[in-house]
């Protein structure tokens, strides 16, 4: 396997084979993200990807799940992506699911029929970074999409039958926009109605624009309990049909894994108990938090 640079994947792809089909992120200007800043974006040639697949299949004949890296691999032209998925399916007959990161514009470049074609070839889940449902916050973090585009993209994935997993970031609006960020994000999640939501807490990567904002005092981060108040507001105001909501990422102070709407009230009860006690011992220790 020939990986270029550091490789990132969603927590739920921990047991998946990571296949790097693109290098870096085609946009790479979100102020909070330092994941791909050292990489020059390119789409790998099919011959490179095929060589990696052949190498893996020679010593691992049974692969159940594959995740296509890097940052927004859905940007690969439809014809080439079909070629990659078809070859994966040919090599591993027991392949259960392929996952991929995508941004809103990648998704909207493809029609429902094109997404359905990818689903037929094994693409089972798309990971979409929402980060915030508040337009001011999105503008500040230089997210490459509007609220309207993000909602349309989420709905298009759902319409195609591919599972939709959406990422949001607690604290990304700072203290100033803390509660409006949480409420607006809940509203957008409700409109998207994703299958999965992953709530992360903002972790500051040195050298990123948002790190500079914090150093200069332009952005003030919520306290750990402020982040948990955002989590409470987000869950309270979310109305999804059937969604697995997780805040168990290593960046979070209060890990939760809940099914919405069934476990909503129990989750809120637990969060409010923590907020009432404000005991740091109830939170994940700082030294255990990470990206």
- Residue 133's pLDDT band (cuts 50, 70, 90): very high
Cβ atoms of residues 199 and 150 within 8 Å: no
Q: Mean pLDDT of all residues in the chain?
A: 97
- Residue 291's pLDDT band (cuts 50, 70, 90): confident
* pLDDT tops 90 at residue 1: no
List, in order, residues 6 or more apart from 200 with CB less than 8 Å away.
Answer: 167, 168, 169, 170, 247, 249, 251, 252
* pLDDT tops 90 at residue 60: no
Q: How many domains does the chain have?
A: 1
* pLDDT tops 90 at residue 140: yes
State the average pLDDT over residues 231-247: 98
* pLDDT tops 90 at residue 129: yes
The domain in which residue 177 lies consists of: 11-288
| Segment 103-125, tens digit of pLDDT | 999 999 999 999 999 999 999 99
Residue 116 lies in a domain: yes
- The whole-number pLDDT of residue 136 equals 98
Residue 3 lies in a domain: no
The enclosing domain of 262 has a CATH number of 3.20.20.70
Residue 107 lies in a domain: yes
Q: The pTM is what?
A: 0.96
Q: Cis omega before residue 70 (within 30°)?
A: yes
Residue 103 lies in a domain: yes
The percentage of the chain sitting over the pLDDT mark of 90, rounded to a whole number, equals: 97
Residue 2 lies in a domain: no
| Segment 264-287, tens digit of pLDDT | 999 999 999 999 999 999 999 999
Residue 281 lies in a domain: yes
List, in order, residues 6 or more apart from 19 with CB less than 8 Å away.
Answer: 49, 52, 53, 56, 66, 67, 68, 69, 88
Residue 5 lies in a domain: no
List, in order, residues 6 or more apart from 22 with CB less than 8 Å away.
Answer: 41, 42, 43, 44, 68, 69, 70, 71, 72, 73, 75, 76
The total number of residues written for the chain in this structure: 291
Residue bearing tokens 């203290």: 175
Residue 234 lies in a domain: yes
- The whole-number pLDDT of residue 61 equals 85
* pLDDT tops 90 at residue 200: yes
- Residue 192's pLDDT band (cuts 50, 70, 90): very high
């Amino acid at each position: 396997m020939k990986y270029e640079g550091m490789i990132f994947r969603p927590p739920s792809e921990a047991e998946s084979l990571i296949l790097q089909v693109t290098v870096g992120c085609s946009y790479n200007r979100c102020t909070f993200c330092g994941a791909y800043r050292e990489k020059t974006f390119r789409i790998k040639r099919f011959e490179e990807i095929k060589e990696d697949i052949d190498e893996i299949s020679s010593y691992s004949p049974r692969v159940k799940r594959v995740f296509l890296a890097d940052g927004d691999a859905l940007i690969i032209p439809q014809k080439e992506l079909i070629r990659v998925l078809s070859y994966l399916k040919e090599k591993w007959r027991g392949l259960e699911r392929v996952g991929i990161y995508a941004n809103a514009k990648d998704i909207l470049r493809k029609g429902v029929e094109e997404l359905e074609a990818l689903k037929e070839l094994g693409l089972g889940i798309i990971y979409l970074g929402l980060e915030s449902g508040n337009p001011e916050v999105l503008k500040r973090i230089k997210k490459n999409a509007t609220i309207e585009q993000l909602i349309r993209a989420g709905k298009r994935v759902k319409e195609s039958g591919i599972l939709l997993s959406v990422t949001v970031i607690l604290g990304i609006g700072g203290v100033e926009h803390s509660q409006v960020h949480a409420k607006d994000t809940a509203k957008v999640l409700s409109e998207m109605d994703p299958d999965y939501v992953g709530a992360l807490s903002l972790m500051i990567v040195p050298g990123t624009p948002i790190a500079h904002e914090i150093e200069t005092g332009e952005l003030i981060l919520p306290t750990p309990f402020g982040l948990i108040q955002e989590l409470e507001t987000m869950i309270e105001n979310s109305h999804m049909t059937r969604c697995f909501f997780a805040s168990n990422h290593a960046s979070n102070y209060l890990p939760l894994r809940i099914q919405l709407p069934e476990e909503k009230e129990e989750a809120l009860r637990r969060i409010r108990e923590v907020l009432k006690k404000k005991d740091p011992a109830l939170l994940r220790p700082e030294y255990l938090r990470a990206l």
